[in-house]
Amino acid sequence: MTAIAQTAHVTGRHLRYFLRQPWFVGISLVQPFIWLFLFSQLFRSVTAIPGFSGSGQYLDYLTPGVVIMTALFSCGWAGMAIVEDIDRSIIDRFLTMPIHRSAIVIGLNLYEVVALLVQTLVIAALALLLGARFPGGAVGFGVLVLCAMLIGLSVAAFSDAIALGQPNRETVIGINTLITLPLTFLSAAFMPLALVPDWMATIAGYNPVDWAVEAGRQALTSSTPDWSFILPRVAGLAALAILTSALATASFRSYQRAI
């Protein structure tokens, strides 16, 4: 119970810091709307392309992709909080306390997931207001949220590991920028894989971002989801989240030994 309480305390610390920045809160909520609106208008005619596998309007197809992209972009900056805490010697203070090392990393990443949940709810509400229809209902939305949280946890933990291994802003920013856009475009976030070059479709099969997008979309946009398609991808995302969390914790212990 002590580890759980410590994790909750760290999560609360980051949430309080987040809420004390009203401009950042506003930007975090508005940005997904901009992506959803602009991309849905820019690419809305792609549904007329022969071979487009989505049904209905492009907004229905796009919404899961924007949710997962938001998870990638939002949680990818988790390492910046680690860098700031190192620069302000807050991490050093934590190390003098009887606190579980995993609670420091997991608490931060849970904060990222809570913020992501709020963004996902905003995206869903805006999509419905813009006319999207989701036959999967609450269950389908729940699966999409789960996929977003798992990929968000994975990306946040990876960002933490980078920050602990190379505690400077430039490295975290550079690596985050390097991986987020390629992972997004090497997936079915904006376009069915049947319409992309074969080499891109092959890479997408090994891309966790594509697992999250495809599983979430299958659950949300189908009235009869194919669970044999969804569940293996969710399991893969869960395994990745566990693996990256273990990597972040191990990186923390390495950082502790190095100081």
pLDDT at residue 234 in the model: 97
Is residue 189 a contact partner of residue 209, using CB atoms and an 8 Å limit?
yes
Average pLDDT of 217-240? 95
pLDDT greater than 80 at residue 145: yes
Residue 201 has pLDDT above 90, yes or no: yes
pLDDT of residue 167: 82
pLDDT at 76 over 80: yes
Query: How confident is the model over 14-37, as pLDDT tens digits?
Result: 778 777 777 766 777 777 778 888
Is the distance from CB of 147 to CB of 120 less than 8 angstroms?
Answer: no
Say yes or no to pLDDT of 190 above 80.
yes
List pLDDT tens digits, range 206-226: 999 999 999 999 999 998 999
pTM of the complete model: 0.88
Residue 25 is predicted with a pLDDT of 67
Highest-scoring range by mean pLDDT, 31-40, 60-69, 100-109, 228-237:
228-237
- Provide the percentage of residues in the chain whose pLDDT is more than 70: 97
Structure-block tokens of residue 108: 């931060």
Query: Among 70, 53, 34, 72, which Cα is nearest to 191's?
Result: 53
Give the mean pLDDT of the chain: 87
- Alpha carbon distances (Å) from 159 to 47, 112, 167, 241: 35, 12, 11, 12
Q: What are the pLDDT digits (tens) for 247-257?
A: 988 888 888 77
Residue 67: the pLDDT is: 94
